[in-house]
Structure 1
Amino acid sequence: MSSAAPNIAIIGAGPAGLMAAEVLAEGGASVTVYDTMPSVARKFLMAGRGGLNLTHSEELAAFLSRYREAAPWLAPAIQAFSPQQLREWCEALGQPTFVGSSGRVFPVAMKASPLLRAWLRRLDAQGVRFELRHRWTGWDQQGHLIFATPNDPHTIAADATVLALGGASWPRLGSDGGWVPILAAKGIAIAPLRPANCGFTVAWSDIFRDRFEGQPLKGIALSFGEHSRRGEAVITRNGVEGGAVYALSAELREAIAVHGEATLHVALRPDVEAADLIKKLSAPRGKQSFSNVLRKSLQLSPVAIGLLQEAAKTQGPALSSLSPDRLAALINAVPIKLTGTVGLARAISSAGGIARDELDADYMLKRLPGVFAAGEMLDWEAPTGGYLLQASFATGVAAGKGALKWLKS
């Protein structure tokens, strides 16, 4: 690197961009972070409202498997900035972490704002500058970065650039996928941006929708083909969402893309054997109503009973007329026909992005020397549980190190 500090532009002030900025500033670069929003890391702050799930404590091989087909590609970056190193980084910022009962890792403060404030203080001490309300619109003929601002468009000459513009989920927080046509015009292959960790649409009956909208299904198991997940789901006005649904969203999304629909099965009492269910259902009811039998004998909630009734309508006979063995089978395999995804505006994350073959091992775009990319704008997806943030942090570190390496060469 020359004696004069190189001028680096980071476009995107989320976790990936801020981490790249930190690495580059530590390496002696003059770093400016640009973002279209009036404040930084808005989606990061949103993620921390219910307790900031930073990463996961499981063994690294199992951790990497959560990235599916992208695991071999992301593995070097995550191994170089591992979940344990992320926890140590938080500790150094005065934000210790702990492992929850599910193995997920959270800051003790259970919020994103204290961690972000400490991080911004560190970046300020390193000389990192921020230019907000700057929307990147591409390059001019000289290769300078073009930004649209509240005043006038202007250009910036940078020695290297790190793109960390996010995917396209929750676009009101800043990541709207506006970079896709800019890079596509440069001949860069981009997998279409699609909802990930998302809910799905269901054609509920008016009665079921009006009565159970917003109600949770707890202690259930969801299955689709060979894939299954324990957890919770929530009935929405137009479908279903929740942690267990998100965990199967990739498989469900792809099935809907091919077949136009997908059938998700819900086990309402996954820990009760079929024989035990049949025995309880075969017992004399006395003067109890059928719904009371399901509620008292099987501990089914009103929304679970409503879901059974909704499924029975599509299968023909009334729920109360089913034999005990058929009803027992239905209780632990309630079919829900999914007709579509809820869309990117409500998805937790997005799949798709810059194709892996467009990047070298240092996260530099092969067609654009000196331009690096990191975070959710790359073509990978992962379930919730800390995997999304971990990969965003790790690829930010990798892109920052890659830019330093390129500048020195």
Structure 2
Amino acid sequence: MTSTQIHVAVIGAGPAGLMAAEVLAAGGAAVTVYDAMPSAGRKFLMAGRGGLNLTHSEPLPQFLARYREAAPKLQAAIDAFPPDALRQWCEALGEPTFVGTSGRVFPKAFKASPLLRAWLRRLDAAGVRFAFRHRWSGWDDEGRLLFLTPNGPFAIGADATVFALGGASWPRLGSDGGWTKVVAGKGVAISTLRPANCGFDVAWSEVFRTRFEGQPLKGIALVFGGHTVRGEAIVTRTGIEGGAIYALSAELREAIAAKGEATLRIALRPDLDQADLVRRLPAPRGKQSFSNFLRKSAQLSPAAVGLVQEVTMAAGLSPSSLAPTQLAELINAVAIKLTGAAPIARAISSAGGISFDELDAGFMLRKLPGVFAAGEMLDWEAPTGGYLLQASFATGAAAGKGVLKWLAG
């Protein structure tokens, strides 16, 4: 680094921070990435364990709508670095992508580690430096960044700073939300961090919990507050989770916060209408159990049959005593009461963070000139399906460009 070269500190070595570092280095800045963990991209690697879902292939207007009320705030960043650009970026790193049957986009390697290794090599070649085990703790009286390190407190000056410290999900991987108090102490408005893409609590009976914990409910439709989502869910010991649940997590979470509970309706055979189900159900049972009868006639999985029995018995009814019309109605409108959201530490992502009103068009904090923010630190949320990573990459790139523009005056 020359004495006249601009130095930018990027705090957080996840996708948003690394993308900001790449843009900054390409713009001629000397960049150091600081992170509290011993290595980069830990949450990124965890996200890729089941296949790294980078983004989604749906049309951009539909894509942007997934960000709900935050869509107008994110649009410029995603327009500038859209899903196609992310795919080209991966290709340039030697990791081509493909579109799955659901429209989701994955690297052909189907995991995060080869992509991260290639990315870190490119950042190293661009001169980006890394300082791990450096936990940011605030600023000193001279405005320098303060870090806690294994060798004691450490302070550095920077011409600009990009914060990419994440939300508060999966805190063991580094993003624990500890930054909120420090930033709020500077007068920056921050919406409380809350679990997103999370499971929910249900007071299952011991019989149902013991028998069906871990079993999926496939091909279902979930209905809540005017929203319908198709997909699948998984019965857990304490409740229910899974892709279809995550898609409704914002609505469910807010309803529980307001009323203490939420009633979710599950259609177990959404492709069959009432008349079709009624025709299937009057068949003579003979000597077969009610469970077998329901499994064969309505083609329900054991977990789905168990759910029907769980709900009817909780209401003091015998499932076998229901008329075909009543049973058909129940199968496609099983009501379960959700009493709480899973803790944020067990959520896939988090909602809340720095209000977009605190940022200018370049993602700089208006009250802290020279300080920029990106990624999950910002107040947005999105369902799984590639939307989380896409917005993290895009806002990281936008913050990097914002720094360069600000420094250029």
Normalised by the size of structure 1, how large is the TM-score?
A: 0.99
Looking at structure 1, the residues matched to 362 and 186 of structure 2 have their Cα atoms a distance apart, in angstroms, of: 20
Looking at structure 2, the residues matched to 264 and 71 of structure 1 have their Cα atoms a distance apart, in angstroms, of: 26
Looking at structure 2, the residues matched to 225 and 135 of structure 1 have their Cα atoms a distance apart, in angstroms, of: 42
Structure 2: 5+ residue runs without aligned partners? none
Deviation at 1:321, TM superposition (A): 0.7
Which residue of structure 1 aligns with residue 270 of structure 2? Answer: 270
Which residue of structure 2 aligns with residue 376 of structure 1? Answer: 376
Normalised by the size of structure 2, how large is the TM-score?
A: 0.99
Which residue of structure 1 aligns with residue 231 of structure 2? Answer: 231
Note the alpha carbon deviations across 1:146-199, whole angstroms, 9 max, x for none: 000011101000000000000000000000001000001101000000000000
Deviation at 1:279, TM superposition (A): 1.4
Looking at structure 2, the residues matched to 12 and 237 of structure 1 have their Cα atoms a distance apart, in angstroms, of: 34
Matched, 1:155 2:150: no
Looking at structure 1, the residues matched to 50 and 5 of structure 2 have their Cα atoms a distance apart, in angstroms, of: 40
Deviation at 1:291, TM superposition (A): 1.3
Note the alpha carbon deviations across 1:226-265, whole angstroms, 9 max, x for none: 1011111000000000000000000000000000000111
Count of aligned residue pairs for this structure pair: 408
Amino acid at match of 1:24: L
Deviation at 1:315, TM superposition (A): 2.2
**Aligned partner of residue 345 in structure 1, secondary structure:** helix
Which residue of structure 2 aligns with residue 103 of structure 1? Answer: 103
Looking at structure 2, the residues matched to 224 and 34 of structure 1 have their Cα atoms a distance apart, in angstroms, of: 42
Looking at structure 2, the residues matched to 73 and 129 of structure 1 have their Cα atoms a distance apart, in angstroms, of: 31
CA contact (8 A) 2:78 2:391 kept: yes
Which residue of structure 2 aligns with residue 31 of structure 1? Answer: 31
Which residue of structure 2 aligns with residue 305 of structure 1? Answer: 305
After superposition, where does 1:9-408 map in structure 2 within 5 Å?
9-408=9-408
Looking at structure 2, the residues matched to 290 and 56 of structure 1 have their Cα atoms a distance apart, in angstroms, of: 43
Looking at structure 2, the residues matched to 178 and 286 of structure 1 have their Cα atoms a distance apart, in angstroms, of: 62
CA RMSD of aligned residues (A): 0.9
Amino acid at match of 1:156: I
Deviation at 1:284, TM superposition (A): 1.8
% identity of equivalent residues: 74
**Aligned partner of residue 390 in structure 1, secondary structure:** helix
Amino acid at match of 1:311: V
Note the alpha carbon deviations across 1:264-304, whole angstroms, 9 max, x for none: 11111111121121112112222222111111111111111
Range moving further from structure 2, 240-249 or 291-300: 291-300
Deviation at 1:99, TM superposition (A): 0.5
Deviation at 1:314, TM superposition (A): 2.6
Deviation at 1:3, TM superposition (A): 8.7
Looking at structure 2, the residues matched to 120 and 34 of structure 1 have their Cα atoms a distance apart, in angstroms, of: 14
